[in-house]
Amino acid sequence: MSNWRMWAFILTAPLLGLLVFGSILAVENQNFRDQLAQLTQIPADVRQSLTIARYCAIPEVAGSSGCQQYKWISLLFWTSTGTLLFGLLIPAVIRWAGRRSRTHRRLLLKIFAPGLKLAVMAVACLIILHAILLVAALYFGPVYLFSRYAPKLLFLIGAGACVGVWKLIASLAKTVTPAEAGVFGRVLPATEHPALWGMVRDLASRAGASPPDHIVGGLDGTFFVTEAKVHCLDGPLTGRTLFLSLPLCRIMTIPELEGVIGHELGHFLGEDTQYSLKFYPIYRGAQESIEVLLQPLAGDAWVSSAALLPALSVLCFFMDSFSEAECEISRARELAADATAVRLTSPSIFGAALVKVVAFAAQCGRAADSIVEDVRARREPVSYGSHMIRHAGSAAASMNLGDLDAVKVPHPTDSHPPLGVRLQAMGMSLDGCRQQALDVNPEISAFSLFESGAEVEESLTGRIRESVAKQGSEVEPPAFATLPD
């Protein structure tokens, strides 16, 4: 959202108030002096020093209608001045905090969430003040100039302010709610997958991190560990959840999977743990909430949501001010987690695993599309794994790895630097990873660690087939960054 909307919101009402109320005060002062000049019985020096403000301070006349009206106009003038300064202070403080956070990581951790709440509350106060100033300016201005006013316009402004504040308060909780991840997957208990859990716990011990509370296997082309609430087909999960892509595990070796898991566990070492727990879920949750609030403005419902424009312009400015700090910290965090993965495996092993995730994640979706096509064409069912291996093999045969340098790995509550930057930091390159990364049919794949992996994969595939059969149209499995209905 363009910053001009924010500045228009901050400046319009108080500047209009200063213009209208300042003009009225100037006229009142001039009228008072003109009348005072006719009172020749009052000494000239007294007439020159006497102002309408001093006159209305005299107890005998302070209660007169003229003085009372003058006091109200003066109050509105100074309210306009204070509102203007308050409005200018908000973006100034936000920008200062955003810039300071670029060099003070702990400051970002401490101020982002409370700062977001304060920003929303400050905007709510501005909306109320602006409504008061606009109503007063559109009443007193026409009354003084034309001896009339527009009651319908005043009602609309007041009602719009009430709607804006109500919607803003209603959306406050959503804006500061931590992000949640929705995955198309199943929980993999330790009792059913002892080899997998044994490897994960061993990696956690070697890395110096706590092991996850849950492991979920799914069809999405990503890997992540998060403390955010995760919704899967077995219900919501709280605590630390590790998500593993079953189709990508089919094209990885066991050491490559160890590198990927080692990277994810690296986010829960030392100070980085606090960012994984307290900052990124809230940062991503705020981003998603603002995007949801912006959607009606682009469609037919923009009229009912227009009252949110002032708040959203400031909130977008708030997020933009902290985005540079987030990008710099994200880069450092990812490279540190990559170093953990390299320490647990090797640069060539983890580099190849990283390239496989970036290069072949899209094949997970193509395998799902093939399942849908099989059902629609009433062909003999083919396993998801078979489709994945076929699509990955075809992609590997024609893939140009040079196009992947700027690609980022997706994540539900975090962000990542480009692939080329990460490889360079570990002393690797796309050319150096080429042979191992394009080997998508290893002799012993990481999928062998899942004792009942085929059953879990078939269970998820069955859900896709059932959805297509019931609806008679193409149905895609939910993406990992969405929540189930």
Name the pLDDT band for 279 (thresholds 50, 70, 90). Answer: confident
Say which residues have a Cβ less than 8 Å from residue 226's Cβ, sequence separation at least 6.
181, 240, 241, 243, 276, 281, 412, 413, 414
Angle between helices 254-265 and 194-207 (to 10 degrees): 50
Q: What is the pLDDT of residues 305-336, one digit of tens each?
A: 555 677 778 888 888 888 878 777 777 888 99
Q: Report how far residue 422's alpha carbon sits from residue 336's, in angstroms, rounded to the nearest whole number.
A: 10
- What integer is the mean pLDDT of 179-183? 80
Highest average pLDDT, of 39-48, 256-265, 273-282, comes from 256-265
Name the pLDDT band for 483 (thresholds 50, 70, 90). Answer: very low
Name the pLDDT band for 303 (thresholds 50, 70, 90). Answer: very low
Q: What is the pLDDT of residues 373-389, one digit of tens each?
A: 988 888 888 889 999 99
Q: Is residue 167 scored above 60 in pLDDT?
A: yes
Asked if residues 349 and 207 have their Cβ atoms less than 8 Å apart, the reply is no
Asked if residues 87 and 122 have their Cβ atoms less than 8 Å apart, the reply is no
Asked if residues 294 and 1 have their Cβ atoms less than 8 Å apart, the reply is yes
Question: What are phi and psi for residue 236, nearest 5 degrees?
Answer: -75, 145
| 3-class secondary structure, 242 | strand
The mean pLDDT value of the chain amounts to 83
Q: Report how far residue 224's alpha carbon sits from residue 155's, in angstroms, rounded to the nearest whole number.
A: 52
| Beta strands at 214-218 and 224-226: parallel, antiparallel or unpaired | unpaired
Question: What are phi and psi for residue 245, nearest 5 degrees?
Answer: -85, 110
Q: Is residue 162 scored above 70 in pLDDT?
A: yes
| 3-class secondary structure, 391 | helix
Q: Report how far residue 454's alpha carbon sits from residue 471's, in angstroms, rounded to the nearest whole number.
A: 26
Q: Of the candidates 414, 168, 108, which has an alpha carbon nearest to the alpha carbon of residue 290? A: 168
Burial category of 99 from C-beta neighbours within 10 Å (exposed 0-12, middle 13-18, buried 19 and up)? middle
The share of the chain scoring above pLDDT 90, in percent, equals 37
Asked if residues 202 and 209 have their Cβ atoms less than 8 Å apart, the reply is no
Q: How far is CA 305 from CA 163, 297, 315, in A?
A: 9, 6, 15
Q: Is residue 191 scored above 70 in pLDDT?
A: yes
CA atoms within 13 A on the CB side of 275: 22
Residue 438: both structure tokens together: 């394009």
Q: Report the predicted TM-score, pTM, of the whole model to 2 decimal places.
A: 0.73
Asked if residues 242 and 197 have their Cβ atoms less than 8 Å apart, the reply is no
Ordered by start, the domain boundaries in the chain are 3-175, 185-272+291-471
Report the pLDDT value the prediction gives residue 485, as an integer from 0 to 100. 30
Report the pLDDT value the prediction gives residue 172, as an integer from 0 to 100. 56
Question: What are phi and psi for residue 156, nearest 5 degrees?
Answer: -65, -40
Name the pLDDT band for 66 (thresholds 50, 70, 90). Answer: confident
| DSSP single-letter state for residue 441 | S
What count of other Cβ atoms lies within 10 Å of the Cβ of residue 12? 15
**Residue 235, strand partner residues:** 232
Q: What is the pLDDT of residues 116-137, one digit of tens each?
A: 888 888 888 888 888 888 888 8
Q: Report how far residue 59's alpha carbon sits from residue 352's, in angstroms, rounded to the nearest whole number.
A: 86
Report the pLDDT value the prediction gives residue 409, as an integer from 0 to 100. 62
Highest average pLDDT, of 18-32, 74-88, 89-103, comes from 74-88
